[in-house]
Structure 1
Amino acid sequence: MSVLHVRHIEEELKRSFDGLIDLTDVAVNAPQAQREVQFLTRALAAYVAQQVTGCSGEEAAAFVIDGRDDNGIDAVAIDDDKPHVWLIQSKWAKAGEGTIDKETTLKLKEGLDLLLEGEYDSFNPRFAKLEKRVDAVLGDPSVKITLMLVVLGDPKMEDVVERPLLAAARKLNGPKPEDEVLDIRPLGLHDVHKMVRAKSAPARIDLSVTLDGTGRLQEPYLAYYGSVSVGQVARWYGDHEDSLFEQNIRKSLGLTGVNRSLVDTLITRPRDFWYFNNGITVLCDRVRPTVQYAASDGGPREFKLEGASVVNGAQTVAAISEGLRRAPDKAGVARVWIRLISLEDCPEGFADQITRATNTQNQVGRRDLAALDEVQVRLREEFAWALRRTYVIKGGGDAPEGERGCTNVEAAEALACTHARPELTVQAKAGGDYLWERNPGSAYDQLFPKKISVYRVWRSVVFNRAVGAVLDEGHGLREGLTARVAEHGRSLIIHIAFKSLDQGSISDPQSFWEETVLPAVPERTAVVLAWLVRHVEELGGYPVSIFKNPEKCRSLAASVIASVNGQTPPPEIQVKKRSSRAVGVLVDAGLIEEGAVIEFRIFGDEQAGMNSWIAKDPRRGRATWVNSRSKPLIWEADGQPYSPTKLAEHMRLQALGKKGAVQGTKYWSLRGRSLVELAEQVRNSE
């Protein structure tokens, strides 16, 4: 049977990737059998990349870097939104008897180390095309990395084979499940064949459900609604797992922060679950009540669902399953709201419209709820009359620039970085809703105590910006470990620099805090960075995980402060020579014609927010090129000239309320190639 499964996989790979896989490095006169094995090995890596990311065949083929200097990685699959990177190692075995050996895992571990250390020059030209995206995703504090070892055979690894990868996982992953960065996923012949089978013929899912408080909507399209016991939902998930979400934009996201909150509610307050949850939407080819439906009867009703798919509420379904697994007696009494929509008489494309609409509506986050807190209201008032500045406490409004003020999001991150507890810097780096949780002793209460001074808030923001500006100024000049520490340890650098300077007067309106503290920031930031690099080097491990670990951050902060206050000069930091600016290179070369349309593209965790903001006015995402070394972009949204960096920073501030320097030439592109890439093309040609 294994040989037959290999044949099915081979046929699928040829159908999917014929003409897409790069074989230019394989000798033209090589035996046909050799060329075919090379194609199938690379196509197998591309196929798995396509399955995990949901990308097109063309993009999956572009993820393949197999060849000389691939460092044990056959494909690098990237999801910029999550953000997630899959490092895929594949082996083709015609007889279906492949295995994973120690050499394979050692090579993959070596490739992982090179990526985490930023040694991108060690990889081949195929990887160079992915370098910017990989670097952006690895620089995201919430990045996840999956090592996938794909073999057409038994994927089981002996202890001695798996040991190098487990050692890497221990170094990268934090003490809590939510701090996990790296996971290891071997795939065998059965797993790949299952993917092929599912793609060629996705199984139709038929379900039974009993609703209470049942209602019906007949026009314009048939739908039923009501509440359902969580036990029924858990059985659906147990029987069908992620197949239940076949039409969903995304499958279950696992136990994210939202999921954990749902699980906690299920276990501790199960009868309130219905009130706290938005519910589930199920699309069905047909919905049939088991007995004739009576509109006047809102009692329990049983329905047969044909061709069912959960298109909204995947996290809710997964959380229900987990809650019942942990505490079936407690969670079992909960109910959840549900909508059953029949597609039987709906127009073509209506299902896709429902899926998109139900997954893209604005959600009320903890930050929005914090706008109701009296502390936030007081700070907004005091910013206005005491500081003559603006303090924005609600999402959706324009973020004030420069000295005009700040948002409460920027304030929360600044207060976290300058707090006495270095652990909060970890949460500032992670972002999200954690800083806005409102429980006794929560981060929010520590950051915004009832009597916090408006001067403490504003000056923390100013300090954050000052240190950030120093770090941004050196961006692109640092390399190796120094670059990684500056990137991933930014929040801790701010924290240490703050603690190492005299902050006793920060809340005093009569003090000359700005005049006495801010001038020392550039030198102190450089010293802190130098010592932090030294202590991270002594500690060992990967910066991407070290700065997610509260214990390690606390230890590093204490060690660096002691070194800064000591008598020993700071270690030297090696930097690269500054190369010619991209805009100047492009203008001098005349590579871009006057009047060319330049488009904005961004990757990583900010992509969704920026794209949503641009979608409201597409002119925001376009600019016209003029051959000016200082301001080559005329923004369509306001007709004003900007440099790529200043325009990207301005847009980021307006869309997300975030400040800080960015490399704007990475985000503005011509026909899919960024200004950085175009400038590099010119340099290489010279």
Structure 2
Amino acid sequence: MDINASIVDQRLTGIVHDYLALVEPYAGNDTVKQRSVAFVLLCASTALELSLEDAAELLTEGGNDVGVDALHFSEPDDGEFTVTIFQGKYKKDLKGAANFPENGVKAAINMMSTLFDPSKFIQLNQHLAPRVEEIRSLIRDGYIPSVRLILCNNGVKWNKQAQSWIDQTGFSSDQVSWIHFNHDNIVAVLQSKKAVDDSIQLQGKAYIEEFDFRRVLVGKVAITEIAELFNRHNDLLLERNIRRYLGLHANRVNSAIHATLTNKDKSNNFYFFNNGITMICRKFRHNALQGESYQLKVEGIQIINGGQTCKTIQQTLSQSQQDYSGVYVLLRLYELADDDQDFVRDITYATNSQNPVDLRDLHSNDEIQKQLETGISALGYAYKRQREEGVVGGSTGIASTIAAEAVLAIWRNKPHQAKFLRREHFGKLYQDIFKNLNAAQAVLAVLIFRIVENERKRPTLDNPPEFLPYAAHYLAMLVGQQLLQSQTLKIAEIDHRNFRLLAETLLQKKEIYLQDAFEQIKVALAKLYKEQNISLQQLSATFRRGDLLENLGY
């Protein structure tokens, strides 16, 4: 029995027991199927850094799933968007030695040839069809998908025959990534808080300074040293890195790094081309009498920026016979105390701030967010300003990201931006969302959004409208407007004094408000498309744009 396979199997037992409601819609009472679904759920949760509840939103298992067990896609950015597809194969045998099956690889290849062609008809189940058509709608609008196929099992990678089929597909490695994910990967993440102590050999001069009870080192290290460090410790080094997790958050940066390293004319200048690696540690020691090329003894190593660089170096050097003895990368090393966690978090996100999604954490300590936290607490809810404050659980927990999305859709009347510009909620749209926002308005928006999201996930209507999977943010906006009208209020008049009344009214009349919102959208779509039959791709595109707002009277 493989130890890691056994650990994961025990984890699946816990998931099936504690989160049966997430698994049953896809597995019913079949205990074997429940375990299989739980495995896909665990893989998606681990790989994408999501709670199990959020990962369950991605599940698509069932008949007509064309080999797609879970599906996630990002919002478009600079003409591209990322699609992550999970296919899981779980065995009772816990030896951990079985290859990912050939038929699974074949199914993935066949799926790729049809799923991303908007003109091809494909019969899909109710969970998968709306998402695939939304992806196809983006493709029709000119956005380019970057696809990550994550093939998961509790065994080893696919065999050479399956790899040859993958190689023969002709899919560009820049656009399609084939990733094997198994029990070892999952356990590596679960154990990621284990401390890493090791030595690092520097090359040439290094700058070391101590100030404000912290120490800083800036130096040069051979990329072969980085590769060896990762061969010894792998992703344990990336616990705090925002884009961690086994290369799954890779993008074209990785391809550019790889291209530079494999180009003999450019690789010697890698030190100048790359932004370098930032590490933190509890303590580092060196022989100061040596003068240069120090051998560092480092305790508690964590890479907080440059994780992509490190992983690409490791992978490139393992596959190449090229001589890299003269290739270096810049290293920044910060020695920080164990009780310096706030500072650690700040520099972690500051050094990664080129990724807009991290702006939430950069804003988490500003006065607006602190005031909201205090006000929301007084209303009996817990506002989570930062990502590292744990999973938001229960009906009283409110993540700042959800609050931003709900407020932008409902009170700012921008439902399309709320859904499709999430990366800008704490960037360009921050002031639009949070300026003059009080706690009562924020919580009420979240309560409305939850009601609509529950209807989207678990429709109460016998024949829910086809637009429901795409229209949640528009529906929430319309429900919010009806709630205000019921009390003859304006948004600015919502505060702690009338919050309870509004929340109770919402709870009592939510079915009426939802039904009316459905009718308003049906009328607006009829105005927009007259007598035309509307495809799912058209529906997806319609709710992505803002022109429907005009037909709704906004």
Shorter-normalised TM-score: what interval? 0.5 to 0.7
Structure 2 letter corresponding to 1:78:
F
Counterparts of 1:299 and 1:362, CA distance in 2: 35
Distance (Å, rounded) in 2 between the aligned partners of 1:21 and 1:342: 43
Matches within 5 A, 1:45-124: 45-80=40-75, 83-96=81-94, 104-105=104-105, 107-118=107-118, 122-124=123-125
Change (3 A) 1:5 1:345: closer
Question: Against the structure 1 CA distance between its residues 258 and 25, is the aligned structure 2 distance closer, same or farther, given a 3 Å change threshold?
Answer: closer
Q: Using structure 1 for the length normalisation, give the TM-score.
A: 0.47
Alpha-carbon separation, structure 2, partners of 1:310 and 1:323:
19
Q: Which moved more, 1:48-57 or 1:303-312?
A: 48-57
* 2:209 pairs with 1:209: no
Q: CA offsets per residue over residues 203-224 of structure 1, 9 Å max, x none? A: 4222212442322132153322
1:150 to 152, 157, 178: 152
Q: Root-mean-square deviation (CA), in Å?
A: 4.7
Q: Do the aligned partners of residues 166 and 16 (structure 1) sit closer, same or farther apart at CA in structure 2, a change above 3 Å counting?
A: same
Distance 1:663 1:84, change over 3 A: closer
Instruction: Tell me how far apart the structure 2 counterparts of residues 594 and 153 of structure 1 sit (CA, whole Å).
Output: 47
Question: For 2:259 and 2:67, how far apart are their aligned partners in 1?
Answer: 39
Q: Is residue 286–residue 297 contact of structure 2 (8 Å, CA) maintained in 1?
A: yes
Distance 1:607 1:154, change over 3 A: same
One-letter amino acid of the counterpart of residue 57, structure 1 = L
Residue 127 of structure 1 is matched in structure 2 by: 128
CA distance in 1, matches of 2:331, 2:143: 35
Q: Distance in 1 between matches of 2:436 and 2:543?
A: 14
The residue type paired with residue 248 of structure 1 is: N
1:289 aligns with 2:289: no
Residues in 2 aligned to 1:109 and 1:274: alpha-carbon distance in whole angstroms: 38
1:280 and 1:245, CA in 2 relative to 1: closer, same or farther beyond 3 A?
A: same
Residue 278 of structure 1 pairs with residue 275 of structure 2: yes
SS at match of 1:225: strand
**Partner of 1:64: helix, strand, or coil?**
coil
- Structure 1 runs not aligned, ≥5 long: 364-592, 628-633, 637-643, 645-661, 680-686
Residue pairs, 1:426-505, within 5 angstroms: none
What amino acid sits opposite 2:54 in the alignment?
E
- State the shift of 1:42 in Å: 0.6
Conserved 8 A contact 2:115-2:132: no
State the distance in 1 between where 2:23 and 2:546 align. 28
Return closer, same or farther for 1:675/1:327 CA change in 2, 3 Å cut-off: farther
* Residue 37, structure 1, aligned to residue 32, structure 2: yes
**Structure 1 residues 356 and 182 mapped into 2: Cα distance closer, same or farther (>3 Å)?**
closer
> How far apart are 1:359 and its partner, in Å?
0.9
> Against the structure 1 CA distance between its residues 663 and 90, is the aligned structure 2 distance closer, same or farther, given a 3 Å change threshold?
closer
For the residues of structure 2 that align with 1:15 and 1:350, how far apart are their CA atoms?
35
Aligned-pair CA distance for 1:259: 1.0
Inter-partner Cα distance in structure 2 for 1:610 and 1:53: 20
* Residues 196, 299 of structure 2: 8 Å contact kept: yes
| Matched residue SS, 2:127 | helix
Distance 1:171 1:152, change over 3 A: closer
CA contact (8 A) 1:223 1:339 kept: yes
Distance 1:112 1:218, change over 3 A: same
SS across alignment from 2:199: strand
- Residue in structure 2 matched with residue 8 of structure 1 by the alignment: 7
Deviation at 1:76, TM superposition (A): 1.9
Give me the whole-angstrom Cα distance separating, in 2, the residues matched to 1:289 and 1:115.
54
Kept in 1: contact 2:191–2:236 (CA 8 A): no
- Of 209, 213, 217, 1:224 maps to 217
**Structure of higher CA gyration radius:** 1
Q: Is the 8 A contact 2:27 2:34 kept in 1?
A: no
The 2-side partners of 1:103 and 1:198 are apart by 28
C-alpha spacing 1:621/1:122, structure 2 compared with 1 (3 Å): farther
Answer yes or no: is 1:360 the counterpart of 2:353.
yes
Deviation at 1:14, TM superposition (A): 3.7
- Write the distance in 2 (CA, Å) between the matches of 1:594 and 1:146: 33
Give the residue type in structure 2 aligned to 1:64. Answer: L
The CA distance in 1 between the partners of 2:333 and 2:144, in whole Å, is 35
Secondary structure in structure 1 of the residue aligned to 2:283: strand
Structure 2 counterparts to residues 242-641 of structure 1, below 5 A: 242-251=235-244, 253=250, 256-260=254-258, 262-263=260-261, 267-268=264-265, 272-284=269-281, 286-291=282-287, 299-318=292-311, 320-321=313-314, 326=320, 329=323, 331-344=324-337, 346-361=339-354, 598-601=414-417, 608=423, 612-615=427-430, 618=433
Structure 2 distance, partners of 1:130, 1:339, is 42
8 Å CA contact retained: 1:272, 1:334:
yes
Q: Secondary structure of 2:284's partner?
A: strand
| 1-structure distance, mates of 2:239, 2:254 | 20
Q: CA deviation at 1:192?
A: 1.6
Measure, in 1, the Cα distance between the counterparts of 2:308 and 2:435.
Answer: 33
Kindly indicate whether the alpha-carbon contact (under 8 Å) linking 2:100 and 2:158 is maintained by their aligned counterparts in 1.
yes
Q: What SS does the aligned partner of 2:341 have? A: coil
CA 218–15 in structure 1, closer or farther in 2 if over 3 Å, else same = farther
Residue 362 of structure 1 and its aligned partner are, at CA, apart by 8.8
Deviations 1:52-95 (A, max 9, x none): 32222112112111123323322224355784333333233223
Equivalent residues, number: 390
CA contact (8 A) 2:258 2:313 kept: no
The structural deviation recorded for 1:141 is 5.2
SS of match in other structure, 1:87: strand
So what's the TM-score if we normalise by structure 2?
A: 0.57
1:666 aligns with 2:528: no
Contact persistence 2:412–2:433 (CA under 8 A):
no
Amino acid at match of 1:49: A
What is the SS of the residue equivalent to 1:349? helix
Pairwise CA distance, 1:243: 3.5
Paired residue secondary structure (2:228):
helix
Identity of aligned residues (%): 20
Matched residue type, 2:275: N
Shift of 1:354: 1.3
- State the shift of 1:128 in Å: 4.3
Change (3 A) 1:60 1:233: same
Cα offset, 1:117, TM superposition: 3.2
Change in Cα spacing, 1:274 to 1:108, as seen in structure 2 (3 Å) is closer
Q: 1:338 to 1:158 in 2, by over 3 A?
A: closer
Shift of 1:171: 4.6
